[in-house]
Structure 1
Amino acid sequence: MFLDIDGHCQHVALYGSENHPALVLLHSLGTCHAVWERQIRAFSKSHFVICPDFRGHGLSEVSRTPVTVEALAEDVVAILAAIGVNRFDLAGISIGGLVAQRVAATLREEVRTLTLLDSNIVSLAPQMWKDRAAKVRAEGLAAIEEAVLSRWTTPQGRRSEEGRGLAMMLARTPSEGYAAGCDALALADCRACAASLIMPVTVAVGDLDEATPPQAARALADAIVGARFEIIEGAAHIPLFERADAVNAILRGSVEGG
């Protein structure tokens, strides 16, 4: 599905029956809705799975205005209103987890459960993200490709078909789309959202995640009253393929527990 959101053409992938409970999945920087492929397969028979492509990612247009976590959350809220979804489970990974926090704080009565994977509550390295945005704008995405991919999976996962698929997602992301996401991550601060997250919240992180280390995810969980914290063994920053069974179990426990 393609929608006009704030003057931008945005793509949303939809799976399953609209008669089923809605599950919204928000992807990481430099990927797209397809990063959730293993979760879509697991949940689309029981849920109406909604996977937006953020601005400048997947099939969505590159933003013509500055990108922030708040702006991306506003896009998701508008997408859900356009589709007519007013009660849903929500999950996000990495920047998708930051956006999910904003969405959940805005629609706190509509969000049944919130699952945050390999994410954080406030920017961990503002200057690094600013420098990375500048480098990508000056030299292109290929200039940082190796550094990014080395953190997304384990070395074994990198060599798998799905690891190669992740590399293709990154390579096909427009340089400006990625750089704008870096801008958003440099300014990201969801600390004010924590008190509004009244739904059941699960925070999970790979024990090998160097991009969002377990201590950062732990700090996120500690900031949210009643949040459950889980470690995904043997997982790097994007465990959605490599540790799909563990991720699916966490997500199923979250939505069924809610």
Structure 2
Amino acid sequence: MQILDTGDVRLHYRVDGPDDGAPVVFANSLGTDMRLWDPILPLLPKGLRLIRYDKRGHGLSTCPSGNYSMGSLITDVEKLIDHLGVTNCVFVGLSIGGMIAQGLAVKRLDLVRAMVLSNTAAKIGNAAMWDDRIAAVRAGGIESLADGVMERWFSAEFREKPELELWRNMLVRQPDDGYAGCSAAISGSDFYATTATLRLPTLGIAGAEDGSTPPDLVRETTDLIPGSRFHLIRRAGHLPCVEQPEEYAQVLSEFLKSVGHV
């Protein structure tokens, strides 16, 4: 575990694998920390340089008050990647992490040679929806939203398992200010026009029972990029890397091999 002081925020990050390995950067979803990727990492090809981090307001990174902009979230990971001396990574982003991926690819194509847009979209929800969610968090904390979030995150089958408690606890232990701040960043973001300009290998992944970013929405965004591919994971909601880690890792590994990253 390491900390990077960007001058604006202190980011908690972790690097696994050899320093000379092909870099893969992971950006996780709203309300989770870097442990989101724990189920799949042991299943990926050996020799990769696996880079994870907690975005601002999440995990062990610092939590500025007030609303965040998507530009700030993109700049945070841009500074981290530059700090690590990485170029030509494959960027794997889930939910808000996928929005960060789109924005970073448009801004710094020298850093991203391919990307995975998992359970995400060019635009997620609308301003009124996010305003309501932010108001609820400010009034009653993340706990007040937790049960509804679990229904969007996971399939009905998974919600019957005791493991659900792990992910509910992860959600409610994130700072309220961080959740609200990142919600504001999502609310103000629309990448349809800019993502459509991208020309790089792209894989879209969706969960068949995703209540946050339904499969059609993920496919619509992925289809903005010519030559992209799309994979639907059944019996999974918004976090298929948790519910179906073997399939998720297999699809990701195949994509890494197809773009010459393994």
- Provide the TM-score with structure 2 as the length reference: 0.93
Structure 2 match to 1:145: 146
Tell me how far 1:47 sits from its aligned partner. 0.7
Tell me how far 1:195 sits from its aligned partner. 3.7
1:98-137 equivalences in 2 (<5 Å): 98-137=99-138
Code of the aligned partner of 1:86: T
Q: Which moved more, 1:197-206 or 1:43-52?
A: 43-52
Tell me how far 1:189 sits from its aligned partner. 1.0
1:74-223 equivalences in 2 (<5 Å): 74-160=75-161, 162-223=163-224
Q: Which is helix-richer, 1 or 2?
A: 1
Q: Which moved more, 1:155-164 or 1:98-107?
A: 155-164
In structure 2, distance between residues paired with 1:194 and 1:166:
31
Per-residue CA deviations over 1:102-153 (Å, capped at 9, x if unaligned) read 1111221332211111101113222111110111011111111111111111
Q: CA RMSD in A?
A: 1.5
Per-residue CA deviations over 1:35-94 (Å, capped at 9, x if unaligned) read 000222223732111011010101001124631222111111000111111121111111
Code of the aligned partner of 1:184: A
Per-residue CA deviations over 1:208-254 (Å, capped at 9, x if unaligned) read 11111111112102211221122111111111111111111221122
- Provide the TM-score with structure 1 as the length reference: 0.95
Q: Which moved more, 1:85-94 or 1:4-13?
A: 4-13
Alignment of 1:254 onto 2:248: no
Runs of 4+ in structure 1 deviating by more than 3 angstroms, as ranges, are 159-162
Contact 1:113–1:254 (Cα < 8 Å) also in 2: no
Tell me how far 1:161 sits from its aligned partner. 5.0
Structure 2 match to 1:231: 232
Matched-pair identity in %: 31
Code of the aligned partner of 1:119: T
Code of the aligned partner of 2:72: A
Structure 1: gaps of 5 or more residues: none
Tell me how far 1:181 sits from its aligned partner. 1.3
Alignment of 1:245 onto 2:233: no
Q: How many residues align?
A: 258
In structure 2, distance between residues paired with 1:102 and 1:236:
24
In structure 1, distance between residues paired with 2:141 and 2:25:
31
In structure 2, distance between residues paired with 1:74 and 1:93:
17
In structure 2, distance between residues paired with 1:190 and 1:18:
33
1:31-50 equivalences in 2 (<5 Å): 31-43=32-44, 45-50=46-51
Q: 1:162 to 1:5 in 2, by over 3 A?
A: farther
Structure 2: gaps of 5 or more residues: none
In structure 1, distance between residues paired with 2:131 and 2:71:
18
Specify the SS of the correspondent of 1:7.
coil
